[in-house]
Amino acid sequence: MNVPEEIKNFLCEEITEPRQFDIGFENFEFPKAEQIIDYQMGYRWEGGSGKRLAGWPDNWVVIGHSNADPLIYDTLSGSVNFARHGAGSWIANRLFSDLQMMLECIQELSKIITAAGDNLFDEDFNILSKHVNSMQSLLVDTYGVDVGSKIIEALEIKDWSV
């Protein structure tokens, strides 16, 4: 597998230690560039045998994940998709037009979580409505209703307390 230069550059230049972004509903982790091949295990090929898995397109490269739910760079379009594992087959949602859009979005959502500090959760450990509303507003205001709503739905940024 040849790793595109744009992925290597992105992981080297844009993602810094601790290589994680907590957005409350997801905690995205990103590998170092030299670990990107290993990050394909379980998606592109089986971990034990190294056998190529059916149903994973050649143009998909896992660039990060949250609890094994991958962020997938599409080498044909340059877009970033997100998929949930455990569905039986991979259904990837195109969320971001490019790597920079993904990074900016995750960073901005992470800032809301960080700013909330100890006041993030209610007594049932649901993210408080005001923070959920801030995140949803940020997405819709920044990316428009269609794209913002798609990100909200895919990342399940909703008020779970109701």
Q: Can you give the pLDDT at residue 48? A: 83
- Is 0.85 topped by the overall pTM? yes
Q: Give the tens place of pLDDT for each residue, 37-76.
A: 999 999 999 888 889 988 899 999 999 999 999 999 999 9
For residue 73, the surrounding DSSP H or E stretch is strand 69-74
SS3 96: strand
- Please name the residues in contact with 128: beta carbons below 8 A apart, sequence gap of 6 or more: 116, 119, 120, 121, 122, 161
* All structural domains of the chain with their residue ranges: 5-98, 102-154
Q: Can you give the pLDDT at residue 162? A: 78
Q: Give the tens place of pLDDT for each residue, 75-131.
A: 999 999 999 998 778 889 999 999 999 999 999 999 999 999 999 999 999 999 999
Q: Give the tens place of pLDDT for each residue, 1-50.
A: 889 999 999 999 999 999 999 999 999 999 999 999 999 999 999 888 88
